[in-house]
Amino acid sequence: MDGLNPKSSLSLRRSRGHRSIRVIIGLVMIVGIALGVRLFTRHGQPTANAASHAASGSVPVTAAIATREDVPEIINAIGNVQSIDSVSVLPRVTGVIQKIEFAPGQDVKQGQELFLIDPRPYQAALDQAEGQLAHDEGVLAEAQMDLQRYRKLASQKAINAQQAQDQVYVVQQDQGTIELDQANVETAQLNLDYCHITAPISGRAGMLQVDLGNLVGPSGQAGNSLSSTSGPPATTASGTTSSASPLVSIVQLQPIYVSFSVPQTVLHEIIKSQAKAPLDVSAFSQAGKPLAKGELTVINNQVSTTTGTATLQATFANADDLLWPGEYVAVQLTVGMHQNVVTVPASAVMVGPSGDYVYVIGARNKVKRVDIQQAGRRGGVSIISKGISAGQKVVSTGQYRLDNGTVVAIRQATSPRQPAQGAADVKSAAADQQQ
């Protein structure tokens, strides 16, 4: 080995390097061929199936069977939830809030005490009015006794008759004073009662607009400290509107209204059906979730000349409080029922130059184009009034490759689904209404 030529040694090393490279290239080619065969075997079957369909001339389709069923006649609209009664609670006397006897967002009952305004000035005013009444009642009793004595003396000619008559007038004046005192007592008692602010209706209380210790009053003044006063302000028991800021608002949630509009073209049908029995109304969220069921209670007495629509109002018990005042909801008004009608999936109906049509699957899976008439469409189901009968099999998807006499390969045979009162119906109805 030591006697080898250096050039021969270098040539030997190069020969071994080239042999290693050829081995690596060969291994890479073998792995590539193996992967190609695997991919071919994986995807070759669908290709063979497609070729088989092409060779047989059949077109893969989905089929459905026309059935008879009852389908509700529904009018869809967008409604707005409205409280039947909404009240802003206002103070009717001026004073400092001593107590707040409820929590914001709480359900309150009619007559339940909500706030207490400092009653002490009004209690003092009532005591003063009652004292004045007691004093004037004593004055009246004395005048009445004098009148009896003067009449007796006048009948005996002991005094002038005019003096007895003058005493009659004194008694009348004292009686008027008593009536005035009684009115003052009633007013003072009423103002004292107004210190106890109660809920005028049953419902849900909103957010508080005042805090404990605020000075409130019918003038709308409110503050964080008590201003000095020499006595209770003059207030009246009248129900006139005040400029006072509301302390809290209360809205009635049970029952509740939903108002919505319908086209004038369906108004007569609604009026006719409503005359027989109150129509059912269902409310859904914008996502299609069922919220509540109610009845149509009000049909407005005129049609809007601007929009050509009539406003309707439905009443819901809202036992679960799912309807909230101000909320927009999807509304479904059930006007009537299509009895025992032929239905197919809406996807089975095609539109052509001469009208609607379907492909009916006959013997040997050959299809035939049949013209039909639709009586309506409800939530993915088409109502067929003419053209096909119950029990016939129609193509529901895959029609675009068909013609009369085409042989089809049925992938699935189903019946049309019953219209559901759910998200799909609400979204489908909204789309139909926009069209």
CATH code of 379's domain: 2.40.420.20
Classify residue 363: in a domain, yes or no: yes
pLDDT score of 16 = 53
User: 184: Cβ–Cβ under 8 A, 6 or more apart, which residues?
Assistant: 129, 132, 133
Q: What is the mean pLDDT of residues 90-103?
A: 96
- For residues 332 and 400, membership in a common domain is answered with no
DSSP class per residue in 198-223? E-SS-EEE---SS-TT-EE-TT---B
pLDDT score of 414 = 62
What's the rounded Cα separation, in Å, for the pair 195 and 224?
Answer: 18
**64: exposed, middle or buried (Cβ count in 10 Å: 0-12, 13-18, 19+):** buried
**262: exposed, middle or buried (Cβ count in 10 Å: 0-12, 13-18, 19+):** buried
pLDDT score of 2 = 47
Which of the listed residues 250, 275, 300 is the one where a domain comes to its end?
A: 250
User: What tokens appear for 210 in the block?
Assistant: 């005042």
Q: Are 396 and 62 in contact (CB under 8 A)?
A: yes
Q: Within 10 Å of residue 164's Cβ, how many Cβ atoms?
A: 19
Q: Calculate the average pLDDT of the chain.
A: 83
What is the share, in percent, of the chain residues with pLDDT greater than 70?
76
User: What tokens appear for 329 in the block?
Assistant: 């909801």
Classify residue 224: in a domain, yes or no: yes
pLDDT at residue 238 above 60?
no
- For residues 103 and 246, membership in a common domain is answered with yes
Q: CB-side exposure of 173: number of CA atoms within 13 Å?
A: 10
Which of the listed residues 229, 250, 271 is the one where a domain comes to its end?
A: 250
Q: Cα torsion at 39, 45, 49, 55 (round to 10°)?
A: 80
**3-state class of 328 per DSSP?**
strand
- For residues 264 and 400, membership in a common domain is answered with no
Q: What is the mean pLDDT of residues 101-121?
A: 96
- For residues 331 and 221, membership in a common domain is answered with no
- For residues 283 and 381, membership in a common domain is answered with no
User: 91: Cβ–Cβ under 8 A, 6 or more apart, which residues?
Assistant: 115, 117, 194, 197, 216, 217, 218, 244, 247
- For residues 198 and 272, membership in a common domain is answered with no
Classify residue 401: in a domain, yes or no: yes
Q: What is the mean pLDDT of residues 68-77?
A: 92
Classify residue 19: in a domain, yes or no: no
Determine the structural domain holding residue 224 and report its residue range.
Answer: 89-250
Classify residue 329: in a domain, yes or no: yes
- For residues 118 and 214, membership in a common domain is answered with yes
pLDDT at residue 232 above 70?
no
Strand 113-117: give its sheet, edge to edge: 196-198, 113-117, 95-100, 215-216
**Which of the four pLDDT bands, split at 50, 70 and 90, describes residue 345?**
very high
Provide the whole-model pTM.
0.66
User: What tokens appear for 63 in the block?
Assistant: 């089929």
Which of the listed residues 297, 318, 336 is the one where a domain comes to its end?
A: 336
What's the rounded Cα separation, in Å, for the pair 311 and 392?
Answer: 42
pLDDT at residue 48 above 50?
no
- For residues 238 and 273, membership in a common domain is answered with no
Classify residue 381: in a domain, yes or no: yes
- For residues 98 and 192, membership in a common domain is answered with yes
Classify residue 21: in a domain, yes or no: no
Classify residue 213: in a domain, yes or no: yes
* Digit-coded pLDDT (tens) for 350-378: 999 989 999 999 999 999 999 999 988 88
pLDDT score of 338 = 87
Q: Give me the number of domains the chain comprises.
A: 3
CATH of the domain at 221: 2.40.50.100
Q: Within 10 Å of residue 412's Cβ, how many Cβ atoms?
A: 10
**3-state class of 231 per DSSP?**
coil
**Which of the four pLDDT bands, split at 50, 70 and 90, describes residue 379?**
confident
- For residues 327 and 354, membership in a common domain is answered with no
- Residue 381's nearest CA partner among 340, 335, 428 is 428
Q: Which amino acid is at 413?
A: A
- For residues 106 and 158, membership in a common domain is answered with yes
- For residues 418 and 298, membership in a common domain is answered with no
